[in-house]
Amino acid sequence: MNRSPLVWLFLALVLGAYAVTIFVSDSEQTWWSILSGIFIAAASLVTLWRFNREVRKNRQP
């Protein structure tokens, strides 16, 4: 297996954890923190999709 899918998985996990900490730690939830949390969560989902695509590409003969 190529290392590239693991990099995408690691990036998705880091971004997802960062988005969760933004939503959990900010007590007053300003519009900027909500917007950045949504943006980072979306970026995490995109990198997770990219990980799945790379894994499928590496499995095909």
Q: List pLDDT tens digits, range 16-36.
A: 999 999 888 867 778 888 899
Predicted confidence (pLDDT) per residue in 41-59, tens digit: 999 999 999 999 998 888 8
- Cβ atoms of 22 and 33 within 8 Å: the answer is yes
> Tokens 């989902």 sit at which residue?
45
Q: Rounded distance, CA 41 to CA 16, Å? A: 6
Q: Rounded distance, CA 52 to CA 54, Å? A: 6
pTM across the whole model: 0.82
Residue type at position 39 = F
| Neighbouring C-beta atoms of residue 15, cutoff 10 Å | 20
